[in-house]
Amino acid sequence: MTSSAIGPDIFAYDVGEFWDEMFTPECIARPHYASLVRELRTLSPGEVERRQRAADLSFQARGITFAVNQAAEGAEKIMPFDLVPRIITAEEWRKIELGLEQRVRALNLFLDDIYHHTRILRAGVIPVDVVLGSRGYVREVHDLDVPLGVYTHVVGSDLVRDSSGDFYVLEDNLRTPSGVSYVVENRRVLKRVWSQIFHDYDVRPVEGYAQDLLEVLRAVAPEDAEGEPTVVLLTPGVHNSAYFEHAFLAKGMGVQMVEGTDLFVDDGFVYMRTTSGPERVHVIYRRVDDDFLDPLAFRSDSILGVPGLLASHRMGNVSIANGIGAGVADDKAVYAYVPTIIRYYLDEDPILPTIKTYLPTVREDFQFIMDHIDELVVKAVNESGGYGMLIGPHATSAEREAFKVRIRANPRGYIAQPTLALSRHPCWVDDHFEGRHVDLRPFVLYGRNLKITPGGLTRVALRSGSLVVNSSQGGGGKDTWVLAERIGDGGV
């Protein structure tokens, strides 16, 4: 590992048994990383450290923080940022784009179907109880026509690379996916603290996201909205872990960020309370879960929502993004059927593979899970953010037994998947580089057209050996570069 390609100490790096994003197993830089590696080699550990600190300070000063769920009021953390960017080639990106486009179209056709004619259920292609038994299924929006037939205006699907280097879809986030603000902020901060490394690369910009989102939201406004429809962003408030992002997006779009109490419904229309009286609202980009949106229709104890909102929505007087009930399609059990869904509605083969998923409700799968739980990852279907998960190979036998009991008691509540050898990327740890597991969350916008921001959030499991990348579980982020056609200058 000390060939001429390796340089000074800073790169005494262990590629390990995994697919490494930067190096081949022989520890040669992959072509698209070559010039970055060369640049890194010119630095001493002290210089890397200094830039890392400058980046951390910048996040702190700008208040780019997330609140930790359930922690004491006001507890904010910065999301750990790793300096070394993750690079995706134009070819890799093209496949990701096509694959996600196909997937999002199919999922919207699926949502439209199950909330109207339920053809796919009648045809017996997917078991009825998988869909109707999902916590994300909302019968209150049955037979409701949403503008353009779009339910998922913003999608953040998580992709991972396994040991062969292929990308898989790990899960879809169709309700209120977050993280796009970090895509933009990570880029800004990296440019500020380390602009030199951009010189040899033609990196596609990510800045335009908020304006693209606004265009999508305007496109789904109710038909009676004259001129510019009024769009607002509905946030649960400052204690929510993604609050920074809500403010970031509202500002980027130039729209009001509202809390539930800022809105009210009168005679079937939604208004916001302004200093000059009520003002009609046409489109709500909500970052509040379905359950909390309207205390008259859903959880009656919710004061984050707006009483009467669902009725107004059903009358077609206000559009809601993402659509109510979209969560049924990112249910972890429905995930197992997405390839089927794609074939059923589009008559195409899935471009991006999904991960083999075992459903305890299926007899053979159940037995397999019980016998192989020490090799599997078990996930609760109704949780996200890395909560409610068992990673078989890393768990104690007591933890595994406890999960078996839970699965037996509630088979519809869990799924199991093989433990993936997620790819790794060099990350700056203390004073040297170490490999850490990463995933990739691109953001797909869907209005009149589909648009995918070139890049996405690369999340890093910062704890050594950890496979969990969620920020609530100590995950960090990296700037993610999608290259335009020209690739670095090749070679080492």
Residue ranges that bind another protein, judged by CB under 8 A = 60-63, 67, 69-71, 73-74, 156, 173, 175-178, 236-243, 246-248, 250-251, 256-259, 261-262, 272-277, 279, 287-289, 292, 301-304, 330, 383-385, 472
| Residue nearer to another protein on the CB measure, 7 or 388 | 388
Instruction: Answer whether 480's CB lies under 8 Å from 89's CB.
Output: no
Half-sphere exposure at residue 88, Cβ-oriented, CA atoms within 13 angstroms: 29
| Residue nearer to another protein on the CB measure, 303 or 402 | 303
Q: Within 10 A of 315 (CB to CB), how many other CB atoms are there?
A: 12
| Residue nearer to another protein on the CB measure, 48 or 180 | 180
Amino acid at 82: D
The secondary structure of 106-150 as a DSSP string is: HHHHHHHHHTTT-HHHHTTSS-HHHHHTSTT--GGGTTPPPGGG-
User: Would you state the structure tokens that stand for residue 335, as one six-digit string?
Assistant: 């995930």
Smallest distance from the beta carbon of 41 to another protein, in angstroms? Answer: 34
Instruction: Answer whether 213's CB lies under 8 Å from 445's CB.
Output: yes
Smallest distance from the beta carbon of 205 to another protein, in angstroms? Answer: 19
| Residue nearer to another protein on the CB measure, 34 or 155 | 155
Which distant-in-sequence residues (6+ apart) come within 8 Å of 314 by Cβ? Answer: 141, 144
| Residue nearer to another protein on the CB measure, 161 or 287 | 287
Residue 20 CA to residue 362 CA, distance in Å, equals 36
Which distant-in-sequence residues (6+ apart) come within 8 Å of 86 by Cβ? Answer: 21, 425, 438, 440, 458, 478, 479, 480, 481
Instruction: Answer whether 172's CB lies under 8 Å from 338's CB.
Output: yes
| Residue nearer to another protein on the CB measure, 74 or 124 | 74
Residue 289 CA to residue 383 CA, distance in Å, equals 13
Q: Which residue has the tokens 């909205």?
A: 225
| Residue nearer to another protein on the CB measure, 177 or 455 | 177
Residue 41 CA to residue 423 CA, distance in Å, equals 23
| Residue nearer to another protein on the CB measure, 301 or 485 | 301
| Residue nearer to another protein on the CB measure, 246 or 425 | 246
Residue 364 CA to residue 366 CA, distance in Å, equals 5
What is the C-alpha end-to-end distance of the chain, expressed in Å? 15
* Among candidate residues 299, 274, 213, the one with its CA nearest the CA of residue 248: 213
User: Would you state the structure tokens that stand for residue 201, as one six-digit string?
Assistant: 């690369």
Residue 29 CA to residue 36 CA, distance in Å, equals 9
Smallest distance from the beta carbon of 350 to another protein, in angstroms? Answer: 22
Runs of H (alpha helix) within 354-426: 363-372, 397-409
| Cis, peptide link before residue 322, omega less than 30° from 0 | yes
DSSP structure class, residue 420: P
Residues paired with 458 in a beta bridge:
440, 478
| Residue nearer to another protein on the CB measure, 87 or 221 | 221
| Residue nearer to another protein on the CB measure, 12 or 57 | 57
* Element housing 215 (H / E): helix 209-219
Kindly give the interhelix angle for 363-372 and 397-409, rounded to the nearest 10 degrees. Answer: 160
| Residue nearer to another protein on the CB measure, 52 or 176 | 176
Smallest distance from the beta carbon of 256 to another protein, in angstroms? Answer: 6
